[in-house]
A and B are shown apart, each in its own frame.
Chain A
Amino acid sequence: MLHIHDLQASIDEKQILRGINLDIKAGEVHAIMGPNGSGKSTLASVLAGRAQFEVTGGSVEFLDKDLLDMSPEERAREGIFMAFQYPVEIPGVSTTNFVKTAVNETRKHRGLEPLDAVSFLKLMKERMKLVSIDQSLLSRSLNEGFSGGEKKRNEIFQMAMLEPKLAILDETDSGLDIDALRIVANGVNASRTQDNAFLIVTHYQRLLDYIVPDFVHVLYNGRIVKSGGKELAMELEEKGYDFIKNEFAVTEEA
């Protein structure tokens, strides 16, 4: 589904990604872990198409199309979803209205008629349950005055509404208490199918107790330095990131 080859990217002429290689197939859950400043969120942003990052080398194929050639909205309509670490507020625009616009833009792209009010409401009610989100929250301005947990649940709710092929969760666990974490993870698990895939960017292992990954990759200094199964996450939790730093800082200089 996603094929990243030697991806390099920079911001303000500072190199952040130094050659990422990663393959994700349908039905898989991949976790990207790494210390602060290793480039985790940059990778997520580059895949979503955020303009301030400049891709300086490499390629990304998504469903056999050149992802880097597409605008952010095209990527979204093709099936890439990013759950933001810091979801933005849009005053005066209700979450319902926002999601409806998003769903219908995506449907238009796929040559489908916009959902009528009744079908939309039905779908919404169903997906709300996944993340135990309340109708009243969805009538309020998008993310305005939402608690940290509500914002993240809202992200997963939007994901469930848009049914993406590849969902990128950018530090979705940050700022969540254990109950909210469980709710968010349940929402993600319920959305898993054989046809979609997840890329979970996280600093801590605890989210992976609830969303069990098929693969774990450790990102350090703009490169994936170690890959493994879910046990790699445990190892990191136990030893901390220092062992990675020590191991690879040496290699780097050698």
Chain B
Amino acid sequence: MYEENDNILEQVTSSEYKYGFVTDIAADSAPMGLNEDIVRFISAKKNEPAWLLEWRLKAYRHWLDMVEPKWPNVHYPPIDYQNVIYYSAPKQKIAPNSLDEIDPELRLTFEKLGISLTEQKRLSGIAVDAVMDSVSVATTFKAELAELGIIFCSMSEAVQEHPELIKKYMGSVVPATDNYFAALNSAVFTDGSFCFIPKGVRCPMELSTYFRINAANTGQFERTLIVAEEGSYVSYLEGCTAPMRDENQLHAAVVELVALEKAEIKYSTVQNWYPGDKEGKGGIYNFVTKRGICAGAYSKISWTQVETGSSITWKYPSVILKGDNSVGEFYSVAVTNNRQQADTGSKMMHVGKNTRSRIVSKGISAGFSNNSYRGLVQVGRKASNSRNFSQCDSLLLGDKCGAHTFPYIEVKNNTSIVEHEATTSKIGEDQIFYCNQRGIDTETAVALIINGFAKEVMNQLPMEFAVEAQKLLAISLEGSVG
């Protein structure tokens, strides 16, 4: 009977990836491989100031001495870093001065992905920065945001237009030498988004960046930097997709968030990079460093992620709770199916007094996949009266997948309270039969059970994203339960 149940599970978790198309557009690329000249090439392409080139070179030289981390609970053949193209930009005839001048082919690509770059057609309420391979192709609603003093633009543009802000904040949360992939990113990052919310401003719309990998053999290395000044608020969304290719592609991004006193940053991700095929061929290696700092008192940073794509995911969105009474949150749903592997979780570093953090992680594994939660809660000597609550729940579909939990807790004072709860469950045959007996077929039953399991996290997503994310959960697991 269990076998039968698992067959059903297999059927439910095997649907096709629908963003796997390729856009046929000429690209301006760097030669394959990585060396100092490539770093100089990228910097020159972007017309960067000397200090930034130096910063990149320093990161590159440091990276050469580092070794790839082996501690994550994932397995893959060695990556040949010389077999990657580090810069690839879709060729546009002219530099677009306005959104109307964007290459129609590019516009079409993003429209196919459900991202309209035409402001008039967009649902009001979301401004988008669209990034394809190594460059940002368009940013919407810039003018409207500028009236409030909000800067929302591509990283390349920010380097040119706001060098003082970039110099001050870039690398301030994730230093160029932080870890292997962050160092690699610092050396070769090509674009990304920059947001700056001035003092006391509440950003009136959701800001979002949509990342798309298109060209073959390229890696995407983008940086996102969000700075929220005193008393400001911003909600930011990020989405990602890539074509279906047989080779693995590397995506090593860095995201830095800075919240000053009483500022709040809400950062949501729906990650749907190509996960590879059923046998585990192809797919994106998603090796990402995301970290925020609650620099000021009473500030708050909240990460929400729905991770369904990528063949391998390695990321731990973290918060440094430096300001007294600051708050860090991490809400995650990670789905792995077929041969996908995920090692993801969070770090909460309590430095200031009365700081609070909350981790809610929901892992769903199906097929032959492996899903690990890895988290660190660190409470420093001076972080008196701090609190953390962590909850890690795993749901297994079938009996060939794995769920693992690696919680680390370090507490250095005796006035703080840290709680950790974990559960592992399996979608029971009993649950499915119960639903069947009420006239609900197995596929609908599984979607119902999964969405119930992930509800606490899904509730954190902005409305516009929540429905989409719910569908995505059901689709990612289609064919895996019966």
Contacts and interface: CB of A to CB of B under 8 A. Distances in A.
Interface stretch (A55-63, A99-107, A198-206, A216-224): A99-107
B433 A50 contact: yes
Interface string A64-77: 00000001110111
Chain A: interface residue count, which band? 20 to 34
A141 B431 CA distance: 13
A129 interface: no
Contacts of B456: 92
A92 B431 CA distance: 13
Contact of A76 (B4, B437, B455): B437
A247 B156 CA distance: 92
Interface in B172-196: none
B434 A105 contact: no
A87 B433 CA distance: 11
B430 interface: yes
Contacts of A77: 439
Nearest to A87: B434
A45 to B, nearest CB: 9
Given A84-B434, A87-B434, A93-B449, A102 B455 contact: no
The 9 closest A-B pairs by CB, nearest first: A92-B452, A93-B452, A102-B438, A72-B436, A76-B439, A92-B455, A52-B1, A105-B439, A106-B439
B440 interface: yes
A158 B442 CA distance: 19
Contact of A72 (B428, B437, B453, B455): B437
A71 B449 CA distance: 20
Q: Which of B4, B437, B441 has the most CB of A within 10 A?
A: B437
Nearest to B449: A90
B451 interface: yes
Interface string A91-118: 1110001110110011001000000000
Contacts of A131: none
10 contacts: A51-B4, A51-B5, A72-B437, A73-B436, A73-B437, A77-B439, A88-B430, A101-B448, A102-B438, A105-B444
Contacts of A73: 436-437, 439-442
A77 B456 CA distance: 31
A233 to B, nearest CB: 27
A105 B440 contact: yes
Contacts of A76: 436-439
Q: Which of A73, A88, A106 has the most CB of B within 10 A?
A: A73
Chain B: interface residue count, which band? 20 to 34
Nearest to A161: B438
Contacts of B451: 92-93
Contacts of B444: 101, 105
Given A87-B434, A88-B428, A98-B448, A105 B441 contact: yes
Nearest to A11: B1
Interface string B450-481: 01111110000000000000000000000000
B436 A49 contact: yes
Nearest to B393: A91
A99 B429 CA distance: 19
A91 B436 CA distance: 17
B452 A102 contact: no
B421 to A, nearest CB: 13
B434 A88 contact: yes
Contacts of A51: 1, 4-5, 429, 433
A188 interface: no
A102 B436 CA distance: 9
A71 B439 CA distance: 10
A82 interface: yes
A20 interface: no
A98 B431 contact: no
Given A77-B439, A101-B444, A92 B454 contact: yes
A158 B434 CA distance: 12
Contact of B431 (A71, A72, A90, A102): A90
Interface string A142-158: 00000000000000001
A48 B437 contact: yes
Given A73-B441, A158-B438, A162-B439, 8 more contacts: A73-B437, A73-B440, A82-B437, A90-B431, A92-B452, A92-B455, A98-B435, A102-B440
Contacts of B449: 90, 93
Contacts of A92: 451-456
A99 B437 CA distance: 12
Contact of A98 (B4, B433, B438): B438
B394 to A, nearest CB: 13
A93 B470 CA distance: 13
Given A51-B1, A52-B1, A90-B452, A109 B430 contact: no
Contacts of B434: 84, 87-88, 90
A99 to B, nearest CB: 8
Nearest to B433: A50
A17 B437 CA distance: 21
B467 to A, nearest CB: 15
Contacts of A109: 439
Contacts of A101: 438, 440, 444, 448
Contacts of A158: 438
Given A51-B4, A101-B444, A141 B437 contact: no
Nearest to A109: B439
A52 B442 CA distance: 16
A43 to B, nearest CB: 15
Nearest to A52: B1
Contacts of B5: 51
A105 B442 CA distance: 12
B45 to A, nearest CB: 48
Contacts of A98: 435, 438, 448
